[in-house]
Chain A
């Protein structure tokens, strides 16, 4: 009987570990510390990250993305642009053929995003919530604060 209990315990532990592994990781939109921007709407994010010029509080936003296929990029594109990785690829190719603007600059990792957003005027990016540093500030999206469970962007 002890063996049965032990086996059930192992099974539950493994199952719960699996669930924890699949737990969404919050992504937060960041700006430089001291920026006038404290919040953005989804529509503004969608426009900024799909190539349109967006001015908020007098500052023109300069978006920085992750490389295509990275978990952060996939999650952000789904949440804000409503596009799968394949759709995003088509979106930018089609836009290029129309002669419209090129995609935002893609960066390799969160530490680079933080360092550039902290220093580049008007820059915005997004990083996992647990990697926010003192150099940058997470902003609200549609008025939802980054600490809220309703914040709309997460790696699933």
Chain B
């Protein structure tokens, strides 16, 4: 019996407060009731620390009215492998590589700085291998190389830089901020997330890649947030050059594009976001102006006709996060109407006016183990604009499944399989398996 009792005593978990050698109380301790959530009242006592007067905030880089003015340099990179399972008999082989490849995808660098308490500068650039690998008109590949003066003139490959966004921002007050420069179009969920560590699948939905809204715009972007109780309304308004071949630095028409977005963040289900977006603009691409002289020698500048259309884009999006559950969906549309004598010449004839509609839904569940595993599935359904090449109403159906691991907040590993079926007069269907490592730094 004694052995049993001592064994029982030894099996009871001990804590730091029950030190060996302490004398047990002579009376059994009272049973402790489950503690209330917050049983400890606020205790005001003399400062346990030195007086606050001895603290020099400046040594902590904390000066009232002054913001963090350090130059912040950060970014993200992704590297992957893709096997596009394109049969030789499929016309998709003309558009996509048949070989499986490793590839460096995005190498994006951000440089941001608070210029003062109200002014902020932001630059995001993407480093590219392009134009290497582009196809020349004769079907050969573009090879970029130049003699390397640092290595006995041996050939060195060079690439290029794309300016993703660059703007100056002025915060008028907590409800309104004005951006001037080149910015990502505020629409939906994907285009703002855009960075590979922040997005769940390897590749973006086809409809996002089709840019029914322009990916970037150059001009003014006003935005802000306004709390309404437990809800929060976000709003965006844009005035820009609109879509165009050189939209970042030249608008080839005098027609400004306008756009906007409203997003309501609700407390439902731990957080539901509902958004709507719109855009209206004119696309213009044309040859350069020409100067002609009349019989009297008077010079006249004239603008030749090119491609020109008016477009309206619209979209709605939904984001639900509840615990590990993540649901996001977008529906996007674009109506295009060419101006008379400015219709684009495409394969098979002139481009038609028409509507392009697309949608996708993504569902995933993030576990709190196994490297924060998130299995996900995406279903995408698009109805493309009619073209002479692919028929009257081509439809794209693209289901995908995949796994997203987040072993560290800054590191994301992804696997994905998707199958694209394009219902048209041509066989453009294919499957793809892809893997990606993306990281933020």
Task: Tell me if A16 and B12 are in contact (CB < 8 A).
Answer: no
Contact flags A136-156 to B (C-beta < 8 A → 1, else 0): 001000000011111101100
A-B pairs with beta carbons under 8 A, tally: 199
In the complex, which residues of chain A have a beta carbon less than 8 angstroms from the beta carbon of B372? 86, 90
Q: Is A26 an interface residue (CB 8 A)?
A: yes
Contacting residue for A7 out of B8, B27, B366, CB 8 A: B8
Q: Is A36 an interface residue (CB 8 A)?
A: no
Task: Tell me if A21 and B16 are in contact (CB < 8 A).
Answer: yes
Q: Is B291 an interface residue (CB 8 A)?
A: no
Task: Tell me if A120 and B39 are in contact (CB < 8 A).
Answer: no
Task: Tell me if A146 and B124 are in contact (CB < 8 A).
Answer: no
Bound together, the chains give a CA A2 to CA B9 distance in angstroms of 14
Q: Is A116 an interface residue (CB 8 A)?
A: yes
In the complex, which residues of chain B have a beta carbon less than 8 angstroms from the beta carbon of A14? 12-15, 18
Can you report 24 residue pairs joining A to B where beta carbons are below 8 Å apart? A14-B12, A14-B18, A17-B18, A21-B15, A24-B38, A26-B39, A26-B42, A28-B42, A86-B372, A90-B406, A94-B195, A99-B165, A102-B72, A105-B62, A114-B49, A121-B65, A129-B40, A130-B42, A134-B46, A135-B47, A149-B37, A149-B39, A150-B37, A154-B37
From known contacts A93-B197, A134-B46, A135-B52, infer whether A3 and B2 are also in contact, taking CB-CB under 8 Å. yes
In the complex, which residues of chain A have a beta carbon less than 8 angstroms from the beta carbon of B17? 17, 20-21
Residue ID in chain B nearest A27 by CB atoms: B38
Shortest beta-carbon distance from A122 to chain B in Å: 8
In the complex, which residues of chain B have a beta carbon less than 8 angstroms from the beta carbon of A19? 32, 34-35
Residue ID in chain A nearest B117 by CB atoms: A60
Contact flags B159-185 to A (C-beta < 8 A → 1, else 0): 000000100000100100000000010
Of the 9-residue stretches B128-136, B222-230, B417-425, which lies at the interface with chain A?
A: B222-230
Task: Tell me if A118 and B38 are in contact (CB < 8 A).
Answer: no
Shortest beta-carbon distance from B414 to chain A in Å: 14
Task: Tell me if A119 and B52 are in contact (CB < 8 A).
Answer: yes
Q: Is B57 an interface residue (CB 8 A)?
A: yes
Bound together, the chains give a CA A65 to CA B405 distance in angstroms of 27
Task: Tell me if B232 and A94 are in contact (CB < 8 A).
Answer: no
Where the two chains meet, the residues of B that have a C-beta atom closer than 8 Å to any C-beta of A are: 1-2, 5-6, 8-9, 12-18, 24-32, 34-50, 52, 55, 57, 60, 62, 64-65, 68, 72, 74, 76, 110, 112, 122, 124, 165, 171, 174, 184, 192-195, 197-198, 225, 227, 229-230, 232, 267, 270-271, 366, 368, 372, 406, 408-410, 440
Shortest beta-carbon distance from B150 to chain A in Å: 34
- In addition to A99-B112, A149-B36, 15 A-B residue pairs with Cβ atoms within 8 Å of each other are A10-B12, A14-B18, A23-B39, A26-B40, A43-B232, A52-B225, A52-B232, A86-B409, A90-B409, A93-B409, A93-B440, A97-B197, A97-B440, A120-B57, A133-B44
Contact flags A39-70 to B (C-beta < 8 A → 1, else 0): 00111100100001111000010000000000
From known contacts A96-B74, A133-B46, infer whether A20 and B32 are also in contact, taking CB-CB under 8 Å. yes
Number of A residues with CB within 8 Å of any CB on chain B: 73
Task: Tell me if B193 and A116 are in contact (CB < 8 A).
Answer: no
Task: Tell me if A115 and B52 are in contact (CB < 8 A).
Answer: yes
In the complex, which residues of chain B have a beta carbon less than 8 angstroms from the beta carbon of A84? 368
In the complex, which residues of chain A have a beta carbon less than 8 angstroms from the beta carbon of B27? 9
Task: Tell me if B48 and A131 are in contact (CB < 8 A).
Answer: yes
Shortest beta-carbon distance from A132 to chain B in Å: 5
In the complex, which residues of chain B have a beta carbon less than 8 angstroms from the beta carbon of A26? 38-40, 42
